Amino acid sequence: MRQRRWRPAMGNSDTHLEGQIGVPHTVVLAEDLSANEILAGIRAGRSWISESVAVELSFTVFAGDQSAGIGERLVAGDEPVVARADVRGVPSGTVSFHTEQGMVHRASLARAGSNAVEWHLSAADSAFVRIEVRHPEGHMAALSNPIILT
């Protein structure tokens, strides 16, 4: 079995500024770069949007001995849930956690290196959680698809 990994799949932008066309991209969890595997990852929701290849993101939720990533479902039951975002490439930015109630938690990122941010919740409080990563001046660096909680 091939190993799935995050792969920049396609550039996409709606910009009218020189030097920015095609810079933002969708990153997809896929087994390989074939069209079928990329489309399967997109259909499954295993994707996130990044402003550039400089931004790296990992987002996982944990409950007991189970975990789920972007676009996946976590059956948490009554277990406490921990949502964890690992971010690189957005110095001094922020990570915000969002549910159906809107933004529910926000944390600052360090000036350099990798940043890990955690937020604790329960499946009874939220049907999903997703994250946004922003630069200090507020513009978007990354946006994840949700992780479904049941």
All domains of the chain in start order, with CATH: 1-53 (no CATH), 56-150 (2.60.40.10)
Q: What is the helix (H) or strand (E) element at residue 41, kind and residue range?
A: helix 35-43
pLDDT digits (tens, 9 = 90+) for 65-116: 999 999 999 999 999 999 999 999 999 999 999 999 999 999 999 988 789 9
CA distance 5 to 53: 15
Average confidence (pLDDT) over 16-36: 76
In sequence order, which residues have a C-beta less than 8 Å from that of residue 119 and are 6 or more positions away?
Answer: 82, 83, 97, 104, 105, 107, 129
Residue 15's pLDDT is what? 58
What pTM was computed for the model?
0.85
The per-residue pLDDT for range 28-74, each reduced to its tens digit, is 988 888 889 988 999 999 999 998 889 999 999 999 999 999 999 99
Q: How confident is the model at residue 1 (pLDDT cuts 50, 70, 90)?
A: very low
